Structure 1
Amino acid sequence: MALVLTLYYRQTLASKGASLFSKKQSQRAFTIVELLVVIVVIAVLAVITIVAYNGIQNRATVSLLTAKLSMTAKALEADRAVNNIYPSSLATANNGAGIATDQGVTLDYTYDNSGTEPVFCLTAYNNRASYTIRSGSASATEGACAGSTAGGLYVPLTNLVSNGDFSGGAADWPTSNSGPVAVVDGAAVFTPIGSPASTTTSHHIYKSVPLVTGQVYYLRADVYGSARMSLTSYTYPSNAANTWGSYSARQVATVTASRAFGVRSTLASAWTEVRCKNLLIINLTTAFGAGNEPSAAQMDAIMQQFPDRWFNGSVSAKL
């Protein structure tokens, strides 16, 4: 009987020990799961906090830069109202008191008082963003003025040729010794007629563009047929018959005058259909500053960011 009680007692202890061990294991596993859940929650909250913080920082940066631009632009306009020109530097702006500096914000200021309408361009930037305001503008826009030291992020470009994609038809495009002009699939289509008085002034469609001696221009056009891109007094490569070709050039103006820019036939007789589209001229000297004008190949690369390597009016191009 004593032996039976002893065995029963041992079995009971063993059973309780196993039960306690199992409970401890369960408790340990449950604690690990809890810990993992806490870690995941902390990670999610950290991501949310970082995103929110970056958003707050970005908004603060934009507010800081645009406020500085607005204040400085008002001071420049006040100087012009008194002197009829913009100040020669920010140090002499604000009626000679200068523009106060803000920690972490750099200002780049350029101006041109030579024209009938003085102009300025002002960039404010830090290590997060750059914003620009120009004379006559009510608000700042993202980017930098031409020649700004704000990392050369953006440059303002203007196409001197309006309606270069013929989206507005071809009525505003004069022709010389050419038949009626139609617009098909975004291209002007015409066929030369009559005998040309000159191979450099006839059988073409064109727009008058003002040039300034010594300034550098970028020209671009898509041409179809036996024709070439043309600018009065300058010659560019000829396109092959019955094919499309894209042409660009960097041209230094040798005259200060308006010149006809467009596309002309290269045939002296037996004329065939000519097509053209996406015509563009940019004054590189105005955009980048004298001595900083890019090459034609460099401009070709910049134009890749725009559909059909063309734009109408003015844009900010990323460098």
Structure 2
Amino acid sequence: MYKKLFGIVLFAHLIVLGYLGLRTDVSPKLDKNGNSESAFASVPRQSDSSILEDDDDLLEPVKPTLDKPIFIEFDASAPNQLPASIRSDDMGTGILVEIPSGRVLWQKNSKKPVGIASMTKMMTALLAFEDIRIRDEINLQTQVQVTNAAYRIGGSQVWLDPREVFSLEELLISVMVKSANDSAYLVGEFLADGNMSQFITRMNKRAQELNMVSTQFFNAHGLSEKTTDNTSNCEDLARLAHELLQYDQATEWAAMPTYAFRANADEPTRLANHNTLLKTTIGVDGMKTGYTKRAGFCITATCIRNDRRLIAVTTGFTSSKRRDDFTRNLLDWGYTLP
């Protein structure tokens, strides 16, 4: 009886296996050369090396990405009139904006594109801060070899020599304090692996991302070219300054009254900050002055009092004293407004 039962079970088992074999078709096949071929050979398969690459990717730490740009939505529906004691007839353009609300307290031709001279360097510094944040291979202590191209840059400078090497931090501080054109060029050149044209493209792309609609860069330092100047308008520059404020070191360095460049040399190069508002105006902690013959004297000034942040951008003055007097009075007046 048991033998009969066992035979029935075995027969049923063979029937099931046969059915499954027909469904899966796992029997060996022969290729055109008579060699056996798996029934799954037609399914594409990754090579062993590609599988290892994918595994490596999974093991890599996730790199931080940049936050979305912070756009200032300017509310200029009812800008205030300056008091008669604050003249604005001898300047080019200007704006006073409250942050983070974006409320415009005052403006004059703030959408008009003008030459911006060394205020250009705010974008150079911003790209450096952003690269340090997201690129594993660089940090503030990364050493940068001075190039012949940087050595040849004129204007305000720290007299870089191709035999010298500086940390990225030293170069950026010289940009923010002294407005060093040679340092600004070298920073841009370094970040773009020697391709300065590529860095300028990045500057303009970042400007578009920040909604700086009237901005165009031709170089990383702001010196006038033969027929062109870096241009922007006051609203755009306020947006740029606001983005730069997201990095604490921007105001920390921009607020330094002096800085000892080449600190380890027998005779360090003492740099004095071009922004005299740091000494004369309460709460000013940045950001960048500028001057060329075509642009005139200009400034983007950041200021904070009692946790209230204002940004003033003023351009087109015929002297640094007149620029500073006007901007100081503008900020003082702005803080009297509710």
Q: TM-score range by the shorter chain?
A: under 0.3
TM (normalized to structure 2)?
0.22
TM (normalized to structure 1)?
0.23
Q: Bigger relative contact order, structure 1 or 2, given CA contacts below 8 A and separation 6+?
A: 2
**Higher-strand-fraction structure:** 1
